[in-house]
A and B are shown apart, each in its own frame.
Chain A
Amino acid sequence: MSESFAFLSDMVDYGPQILNGLINTLLLAGTISVTGLFAGILIFRLTLSENRFIRKSTASYISFFIGTPLIVLLFLMYYGLPQWGIKLSPFAIAAIGFTLNIAAYNSRYLSAAYNGIDQQQLMAASAQGFSSRQIFSLIILPQTLRRAIPGLTNQVALNIKDSSIAFLIQYVDFFAQMQEQASLNFQYLKVYAVTGAIYLLLVSLVIFGSKRLETRYAIPH
């Protein structure tokens, strides 16, 4: 009983730091979810380019970032770039690294959704006189985004969880603060159980939001 009380007391004492870490986690996850979405849309758009070189280059980009461990990219920037005199903050490195990686995955979700679109709609839009830019923004994107909601929101959940690896490049997020806490009170089991529960809570909120979005924006079929 007293051990549990001591654990809770430690958590309360360390609360401001934990809260700060949680805010940093949400800041990073929120940032990379937004930038990753926009970059993913850009990459997806390029996969539809009529220019063969652009399509091939985009395919190579996607293969590279899906095929390379994210931690390698983060370490490359964190430890490698200073050797060229470029020093970025851990947040900037994490934001850039994650965005590059997430964009590749998001573009794949959008491409899969695009493949489900009746292509005659695009021909109809072209026949109506819409430009390819208009066809993308008015016909393709609204439909692919709505069809890709499960994949895209799943990626947001992954972003929350995966952002914890940013502590390896000295980004002081929620996981880093909890690890610090565990190393101070040696209550590894309890600290990591609480850590897992809080990540689970955050991801559950995303999944709940995802279901709402899916219901609201589903294309009638």
Chain B
Amino acid sequence: MTLLQVRNLTKNYDGIGILNGVNFSLHEGEIKVVMGPSGCGKTTLLRCLNRLVEPSSGEIIFDDKDITAADVDIRQVRQRIGFVFQNFALYRHLSALENVKLGLRKLRGLSDAEATQRAIYELSHVEMQDHQDKYPAHLSGGQQQRVAIARALAMDPAVLFFDEPTSALDPLMAREIANLLNRLHAEKVTILCVTHDVTLAKNLPGDVLFLNHGHVEAEAPISELMQNHASENVRAFFEEKAPNA
């Protein structure tokens, strides 16, 4: 079943087109990777999809409803879309446990005991239960990323968005995050992941949406894109990113 469908999505800044008619769909339980050269609009696309950035035109059908419509309560929509940021974006004044609890308490309306129980469960899910009382500043990049994922998962999202999940991590931690994404995918979590990390993309099972100059230039498994793809831009990108592949 299609969970997210994007139709002719555009975003202009001062007359300059960042997204120029993006079309794609994401099915329940699917994992899809968005790649493309720097400045191609990957992050803008992700932020348009939950209207952190307002699209200029186009439709975003989420759960059979166009969320670009004026009467949509976008806060309710956002509560169903987990978003994991490039630099983790944990609340610095709260411990790992409190980071996960905050949304459960203030958005879901859970009692403190219920929220604590659920937060501990989600932290265990990402193997962070032993660090629940630590503050973000006392966690490594990979650990912060896991807490950010637990925070997103705690809200029972219909889909998880990842914005460059490995760009701030060393290769070992990046591999751990790739394993975690695969585990989530195995649990039927729907994932849309923006990355420029070819190693990560190769370790994920879904199709790659190749974005260039604000539109989808190709959509296929990464193995196909890396093997003499018809588009010169696609070939050039992968030759530069993974010359020995």
**Which residues does A use to contact B, with CB under 8 Å?**
117-118, 120-121, 123-131, 134, 138-139, 142-143, 146, 219-221
Of all chain A residues, which has the CB nearest B161? A127
Given A121-B89, A220-B138, A221-B137, A127:B106 Cβ within 8 A: no
Given A138-B102, A220-B135, A126:B78 Cβ within 8 A: yes
* Beyond A118-B87, A124-B85, A143-B92, 18 additional pairs, beta carbon < 8 A: A117-B92, A118-B89, A118-B92, A121-B89, A123-B85, A124-B89, A124-B90, A124-B148, A125-B91, A127-B52, A128-B151, A129-B76, A129-B77, A129-B103, A130-B103, A139-B91, A220-B135, A220-B136
Assess the A130–B107 pair: CB atoms within 8 A.
Answer: yes
Assess the B79–A129 pair: CB atoms within 8 A.
Answer: yes
Assess the A134–B106 pair: CB atoms within 8 A.
Answer: yes
Interface centre among A123, A129, A138 (most CB of B within 10 A): A129
B150 beta carbon closer than 8 Å to chain A: no
Assess the A121–B78 pair: CB atoms within 8 A.
Answer: no
Total A-B Cβ pairs within 8 A:
69
**Which residues does B use to contact A, with CB under 8 Å?**
50, 52, 75-79, 81, 83, 85-87, 89-93, 102-103, 106-107, 135-138, 148, 151, 155
Of all chain B residues, which has the CB nearest A145? B93
Query: Can you give 25 A-B contacts (C-beta < 8 A)?
Result: A117-B92, A120-B85, A121-B91, A121-B92, A123-B89, A124-B85, A124-B89, A124-B91, A124-B148, A126-B52, A127-B78, A127-B81, A128-B78, A128-B103, A129-B103, A130-B75, A130-B106, A131-B75, A138-B106, A146-B93, A219-B92, A219-B93, A220-B92, A220-B136, A221-B92
Assess the B93–A143 pair: CB atoms within 8 A.
Answer: yes
Assess the B155–A142 pair: CB atoms within 8 A.
Answer: no
The residues of B that contact A221 with a CB separation of less than 8 Å are 92, 137
Assess the B137–A220 pair: CB atoms within 8 A.
Answer: yes
Partner pick for A121 among B86, B90, B135, B137, CB 8 A cutoff: B90
Assess the A129–B78 pair: CB atoms within 8 A.
Answer: yes
Of all chain A residues, which has the CB nearest B53? A123
Give the CA-CA distance A130 to B104 in the complex, in Å. 11
Interface centre among A124, A125, A138 (most CB of B within 10 A): A124
Interface centre among B52, B79, B91, B107 (most CB of A within 10 A): B91
Of all chain A residues, which has the CB nearest B76? A129
Give the CA-CA distance A188 to B111 in the complex, in Å. 63
The residues of A that contact B89 with a CB separation of less than 8 Å are 118, 120-121, 123-124
